[in-house]
Amino acid sequence: MRAVTAVTNEDEPGTGETVVEQQHTGGRRGAARRGRGPLLVGVAIVLVAAVSAVGALGLGGDGEDSDGAPGRSSKTVQVTRATLVDQTEIDGQLGHGPEVPFPIKAQGTVTWLPERGTVVRRGKPVLRVDDRPVTLLYGSLPMYRELAVASAANPATEGADTNGQGAPAAGTGGTTATPGQGGTGQGGTGGTGSSTSTGGGGQAGGAEGLPAGAPQTRTTALRGMDVKQFETNLSALGYTGFTVDESYSELTAQAVKKWQRDLGVPQTGRVGTGDIVYGPGPIRIAATNTRIGASSAGDPVSYTSTSRMVTVSALASETAWAQRGTEVSVELPDGRSVKGKVSSVGTDASAPAAGAGSGQGSDGGTGAPEGRATVSVVITFTDQKSLGRLESGPATVRYLVKERKGVLTVPVAALVALAEGGHGLELASDGSTADRFIPVTTGLFAGGKVEVTSPDLTEGAKVRIPQ
């Protein structure tokens, strides 16, 4: 066993020189110094406390075995080459993402509602109003107008009123009569009804039996991207006989009648604004905010994605990692870890309510400290089966901050502070060299290890762990 002491040389007054010596228990040096008296014992007690700093300077080693010396350890570890990864964790919530209300425009009484969690696909109802289905179709445009074949008067004769001819007669004939029923000339009976007219003949509604110069009606196709969106869905449901384009033609109307027949609703060939709703794809019923027998007004049904995802509330000042497509690791509620990707990052920052402190945010993510703004980050998964059977629960998202590949590493506990500044390691004797301290440059700290570099350090070298 060896101890290190510092002794002032009293035989040469005025020199003030500090001598570092090694004292071996039971050795001849210990016996020779036994007569120096209490003064040396006191000095030794004070200076033994500084042995770690002296050892860090490399002043105590002479190549002899130092195991068991104060401040030293016999435990050694090898320098290894590895990849260090610095990750940060943030709490989140596994679920199906944010709820979105369906824009139901059908007016009436709710007569049927789906159960929460039901997956609804194209062509299926999301609810029934007055016992008529409100059918889901896929698309981004809303249903903002009725879809039907339009009718218009012949522009060549529309509004003509020469010498009293062409003016519609009073009665039930109106401006458009039943096809095939013509007028009787001047002063005759107009349309299907009878009414005396002093100057005008009746208006013909059909193409046959029209008197010369009488107004005619013709059909015109409704046009627009909303028409193409609807026809795309109609074709995907298996209905044919029309061309998918921006024109709602008579052929489209015929296909619509077949669709309406299969739905069990009147076959009008027209699609009302309340007959369908558009969604981004298959949807999952998240909530029903009404009851059967109540009015359909408001937002009676809301939906989410059918895919599971994790939502976190990240500090707005710390979202550099949250780029779309960034890979992250997610620890699920059952303890398993799966890979995910950042799908979307919110553009609107929100702060928790005053007094809320830290805790769960409203979207399921972890709330930030009071007064600190957050944004919502959504993590999605390509392989939904990897998530198992769990539908919801707390999750932990880990994202990469920094990575260093193939670097020399040692446990952080192996580092010693050098008196001249910086860090060092104590290289253990390999039999041909003595224990010695070397300065090292530190890099990434991660997982209890630290990256170290030094010209005197090689992979496989052994370093001591200070006590």
**Averaged pLDDT, 3-12:** 35
Asked if the model's pLDDT at residue 25 lies above 90, the reply is no
Which 8-state DSSP code applies to residue 114? P
Q: Specify the range with the lowest mean pLDDT, choosing from 24-28, 183-187, 241-245, 281-285.
A: 24-28
Asked if the model's pLDDT at residue 239 lies above 50, the reply is yes
Whole-angstrom distance, CA of residue 461 vs CA of residue 463:
7
Q: Specify the range with the lowest mean pLDDT, choosing from 192-206, 247-261, 372-386, 390-404.
A: 192-206
What is the per-residue pLDDT for 231? 97
Asked if the model's pLDDT at residue 114 lies above 90, the reply is yes
**Averaged pLDDT, 410-422:** 92
What is the per-residue pLDDT for 282? 97
What is the per-residue pLDDT for 263? 96
pLDDT tier for residue 73 given thresholds of 50, 70 and 90? low
What is the per-residue pLDDT for 14? 39
Choose among 425, 419, 437: nearest CA to 53.
419
**Averaged pLDDT, 369-398:** 88
pLDDT tier for residue 447 given thresholds of 50, 70 and 90? confident
**Averaged pLDDT, 240-265:** 96
- CA within 13 Å, CB half, 6: 14
pLDDT digits (tens, 9 = 90+) for 266-277: 999 999 999 999
pLDDT digits (tens, 9 = 90+) for 119-173: 999 999 999 999 999 999 999 999 999 999 976 544 433 333 333 333 333 333 3
Whole-angstrom distance, CA of residue 464 vs CA of residue 55:
12
Q: Tell me which range, 67-76, 146-155, 288-297, 359-368, is most confidently predicted by mean pLDDT.
A: 288-297
pLDDT tier for residue 244 given thresholds of 50, 70 and 90? very high
Whole-angstrom distance, CA of residue 375 vs CA of residue 308:
20
Whole-angstrom distance, CA of residue 271 vs CA of residue 221:
14
Name all domains of the chain by residue range, CATH numbers in brackets.
2-49 (no CATH), 76-84+403-464 (2.40.420.20), 89-96+307-401 (2.40.30.170), 100-149+222-304 (1.10.101.10)
pLDDT digits (tens, 9 = 90+) for 285-307: 999 999 999 999 989 999 999 99
* Residue 292 in tokens: 């059967």
User: How far apart, in Å, are the Cα atoms of 389 and each of 94, 332, 393?
Assistant: 12, 11, 11
* Residue 437 in tokens: 């301290």
What is the per-residue pLDDT for 221? 75
Whole-angstrom distance, CA of residue 108 vs CA of residue 301:
15
Asked if the model's pLDDT at residue 12 lies above 50, the reply is no
Asked if the model's pLDDT at residue 10 lies above 80, the reply is no
pLDDT tier for residue 336 given thresholds of 50, 70 and 90? very high
Whole-angstrom distance, CA of residue 127 vs CA of residue 104:
9
pLDDT tier for residue 216 given thresholds of 50, 70 and 90? low
Residue type, 201: G
Asked if the model's pLDDT at residue 36 lies above 50, the reply is no
* Residue 384 in tokens: 């939904």
Whether 286 contacts 302, CB under 8 Å: yes
